[in-house]
Structure 1
Amino acid sequence: MELTILKKIEENLSQGKRTALVTITEATGSTPRKSGTIMGVFEDEIVGTIGGGKIESVVIDRARELLKTGNSENFEYNLTTTDELKMNCGGMMKGYIKIFSPFPKLLICGAGHVGQKLFKIAQHLEFNLKIIDDREELKKDIPELTLGSFQELLTKEKIDGNTYIVIVTRGHLLDEEVFNLVKSRGAKYIGIIGSRRKVTTLKEKLEKIGEIRDNIFAPIGLKLSNGTPEEIAIEILAEILKIKNGGDLVHRTMFHNKYILGGKNE
């Protein structure tokens, strides 16, 4: 049963779903199950048991509340008729609800020079990473490439608040087409490469139809690089990490006055 639970957790994480693992860490006296017993709690399914009855029901409800927040926590119950659960086992049970959250998805739309560098650097970070393009000849440069039309691939792609999208296709018209396919689907971040002139035109279009959103970043990236694909990729990742981690644009150094990137913090 333990292996079934762990496989189910892995399956749900691969589908971008949070999962909960309940473990009894201590059981004394008369209890339904003993220390080390585990149970998997999912959005629409339970695998395993910690003994049934009131305690299991309460722990399942709490685990599903924690699935919404991503937090983990301990629990402890006395199983007597005079305590909270009104059970007559007579023992005491402690446990831990561990919430597993899927890695954020980094979806790179475009496998040109910048897209390739971004993919290779991001492989060292904790992202569910995917790169897509419709140019078959690029497969030799990046074997992990998912080939197909952007329309087909993005229509099928799951996009949610844990998704970061980078649009770096071969031209501004295709960039805009890709953007229109993803702009309203709840991504945490949508970054679009391009000149200020191109981005200004896009911004004006979006303003006219009232579709300016906080999750749109264009031109993409922090202003750090020398303009090479490698350094542009680092600019992009730096911006994504700032959004993902709620970071601050300040130097860490203790040897100089504190500076905000782009200007002195007075």
Structure 2
Amino acid sequence: MNTIARAACELLDRQEPFILATIVSHSGSTPRTAGSRMIITAAGRGIGTIGGGLLEAGAMSRAVELIGKGQSALMPFDLSDNNVATMDMICGGQADVLLAFVSPTELNRTVFDQWRRMLDQRPGGCLITVVRGSQENIEAVAHCVATAAGEIIGDFPLSGGEGEMALNAAAGSTGPRWLALETGFVLAEPTRRVPGTYLFGAGHVARYTAAVAAMAGFRVSVSDDRAEYANRERFSDAHEIRVLENFDDAISGLSVGREDFIVILTRGHLHDKTVLAQALRTDAGYIGMIGSRRKRNAIYGALLEEGFSEADIDRVHSPIGLSIGAETPEEIAVSIVAEMIRHRAHSFTAHG
């Protein structure tokens, strides 16, 4: 969601209204893509995706009309029968897409900026969308954020029992949650921790790996000891760029948790070994190192002699990336991020 939040802030800063499209469910079921979001601009440009196919095309077409009128709408889509095969999204049932008009007011700028900060800084909290009206006629849509400390920032037009129910749903939610009201509904979405990807090395493979990882929803940090390589011009998609004095304390000062990724792509095996030794002392859930099996085995042997265990070595993905016959830096980057996506899907979802 970081891409959506950042794009929303940029549009609001430019005084541009947009539609925030979100998949919800009125039946109370939770389809696979519930909570998926995208932004649609007045020019018809889409940022993000709600799954593609006819659903997304229909939502984008309607969104442009709504922006011109300053209105919101709830669009139902029948995802059964022939449409399922076409859209490949949800196996049967009914999907509803909320097309929420967001005007460039100071209050909305504050709300979406706070949401962006919460996603970037990972303090916890929830984005709450309050919808008033019926499926046929959406009267009003309000957005606010509830911080981990219980503070409400933005427009929260609920009080009494409804307000209490909405806030309890937000506080107890580990994923997107839909709550029916007498006069509408509430969608609460917790700000999930975005896995950090720490790239060490800023060469050609790292440059493309950073770009692909950012597109795939990772929060990318790039570190190198060469300022002419580690810079914003080369890594425009990175969230953080660090120019090191050397690699001896490359991970010092970084908060690396079990959901984070360390990707070692330095320019030589000595630097790789230096960074890998530090990486193995972190809780990183994924550690990958580029290089041939011969180079990898030499590094492993040296680390074992220094006191690391076989269990430590078993944590490392090397040669890094899925085996897809990649040769160019661009192809290698795709193979690396593909392996990261697979690891994220198989490992971290189990942690909740």
Q: Aligning the two structures, in what range does the TM-score lie when normalised by the shorter sequence?
A: 0.5 to 0.7
1:209 equivalent to 2:301? Answer: no
Map of 2:40 onto structure 1: none
Q: 1:239 aligns with which of 320, 334, 339?
A: 339
Unmatched segments (≥5 aa) in structure 2: 1-106, 348-352
**How many Å apart are 1:161 and its aligned residue?**
4.0
**TM-score, normalised via structure 1 length:** 0.67
CA RMSD of aligned residues (A): 3.5
1:60, 1:102 → 2: CA distance?
A: 20
1:185 equivalent to 2:282? Answer: yes
Paired residue total: 226
Q: 1:73 aligns with which of 177, 181, 196?
A: 177
Map of 1:42 onto structure 2: 147
Q: Is the 1:38–1:50 Cα contact (8 Å) retained in structure 2?
A: no
Q: Is the 2:178–2:185 Cα contact (8 Å) retained in structure 1?
A: yes
Map of 1:250 onto structure 2: none
Q: Tell me the amino acid that sits aligned with residue 320 of structure 2.
A: I
Map of 1:119 onto structure 2: 210
Which of these two proteins has the greater Rg computed from alpha carbons? 1
**How many Å apart are 1:103 and its aligned residue?**
4.6
**How many Å apart are 1:176 and its aligned residue?**
2.4
Q: Tell me the amino acid that sits aligned with residue 112 of structure 2.
A: L
Q: Is the 1:191–1:218 Cα contact (8 Å) retained in structure 2?
A: yes
Q: 2:251 aligns with which of 140, 143, 154?
A: 154
**How many Å apart are 1:100 and its aligned residue?**
4.1
**TM-score, normalised via structure 2 length:** 0.53
Structure 2 vs 1, CA of residues 202 and 109 (structure 1 numbering), >3 Å: closer, same or farther?
A: same
Q: Is the 2:250–2:275 Cα contact (8 Å) retained in structure 1?
A: no
**How many Å apart are 1:160 and its aligned residue?**
2.8
**How many Å apart are 1:106 and its aligned residue?**
2.6
Higher mean displacement: 173-182 or 55-64 = 55-64
Q: Tell me the amino acid that sits aligned with residue 10 of structure 1.
A: R
Which structure exhibits the higher relative contact order, with contacts defined as CA atoms closer than 8 Å and separated by 6 or more residues? 1
Where 1:231 maps in the other structure, the secondary structure is helix
Unmatched segments (≥5 aa) in structure 1: 29-33, 78-90, 248-266
**How many Å apart are 1:189 and its aligned residue?**
1.6
CA displacement, residues 208-233 of structure 1 (integer Å, 9 cap, x when unaligned)? 53643775312211222354433322
Structure 2 vs 1, CA of residues 219 and 42 (structure 1 numbering), >3 Å: closer, same or farther?
A: same
2:167, 2:142 → 1: CA distance?
A: 14
